[in-house]
Chains A and B, each alone.
Chain A
Amino acid sequence: MRRAETEIAVIGGGPAGLSAAAVASSLGARVTLIDENLSLGGQLIKQTHMFFGSKIHYCGVRGIDIARILEDLVQKQEVETMLDATVVGLYENMILGILKSDRFWELQAKRIIVAAGAREKMLAFPNNDLPGVYGAGAVQTLMNVYGVRPGRKVLMVGSGNIGLIVSYQLLQAGVEVAAVVEAVPTIGGYLVHASKIRRYGVEILVSHSIVEAIGEDSVEGAIIAKLDDNWNFIPGTERTLDVDTICLAVGLAPLSEVLHQSGCELVYMPELGGWVAVHDENMGTTKKGIYVAGDSSGIEEACTAMLEGRIAGADAAGSLRPEAKSEADRVKREAKLELDSFRAGPFGEQARSGKKKLFTSWVQ
């Protein structure tokens, strides 16, 4: 076992963690950034599409390039990075247990920022364990990180932004998309993403879902059908699609295990994707010195993750360095204004109401 020390430990090198580390380090704190992957960037490294948002959120820049921008920032700030390193425990007195290349590390920190991201949700249907059934995020990784085509023809289940964007990227990779099915009566993601795949002839079937996957050793087809108002399949509406791949884009759940172990208070919030740590506007949890940011604090997207990361990083560094406090306060103020403006539209409503509930329950 090896021991190390740092001031601020950041768990996760995605948009939230990179932003938190860069800000905290620029405010003078000694920062260690831990990520289980071989490279930094989190999910950004497969986001080949241009991002939304405004200039401050790197709008119009592709996710893959934002990963590079943030990584450069972190390297310039001389943040220590531990890659290929998995946080396996958060113990008393702010000690992290880390498994790096089969060696166990104990990292003593003064502040911990959990920016671990999310996991893909699964859907129950017969034969969902056949090879050829993937999470949409996994397919995106296969294609855009490793250059592997997942199949010949795909059924996409779910029309949120991930389902729509991955469908478009499948088309770009030369893979056919048989249809996108969506259980809800309206398209879940941005309509511009929907229109993009519609122009390539991909049908988006709302009030439809997958009945079952067909196949012996792998996916050879899928049966879909229409849903009534009570979410029951309407008999006689079944259609069999000739597909060899089924992609599930049915939502994400925050990764909050480490927070659970730390003893901070968690609540189940469907609008934020599942179990989330109760936190305040500065992203502090109910456990002093432990912060949360990005999808781990409730499912949203990369722009808000970066802003939350900035807030958490600034607050953590400001609490350690009195001389940096006024600058930290300025960073937090700006990021909070940006967050409010970003969440002000209809797509921000769930996060807006979910986060408000969290902030109020923290006060109580």
Chain B
Amino acid sequence: MIEQHLYAIADITSKNHPKRCVVFLISDDRRITAKDEFDKLAITTERHFRARFDAWVDGQINKKMFHGWDQSEFGGNYTNCFVFKCKENKKQRRLYGFLCHPKVSDNRYQICVLVSHAFKNEHETHETYLKIIEQFSTLPDVLEAIKDFFKEKNDGKSLDKPKH
């Protein structure tokens, strides 16, 4: 029997930014670790990550802080995947996620859905992480959670749901 999980979205940067937003995927699925690990970070590391989220939302390009993978890497299988990077002492922390465009009324609006956290020691990204991210990025229940979070009124404005 296939295990059923619940999925929801939590924003970390403002979803009212006109171009981009960073969110966490949250779930009872143990493979989804980004938010749990982020919430446990030391304050300096947490601030570094938040500054990186801001930089990406603002449209800055800086491969040392965050990047995706293009067609030339891993056979072009992970072009939707994305990672935020931060060095903490000698450990390399990574927050892996995927990019998507959740608004029907504005197909340029882009979000990064953070899924999992990892420590990374080798220079190259372990493909296993990306495979998992890619799986979640196409999961119907995940897509439904994203759609629900970025639900829009008929006039194209997003609905801000009260936080619980």
Question: Do A and B interact with each other, yes or no?
Answer: no
**Could you tell me which A residues sit within 8 Å of B by CB distance?**
none
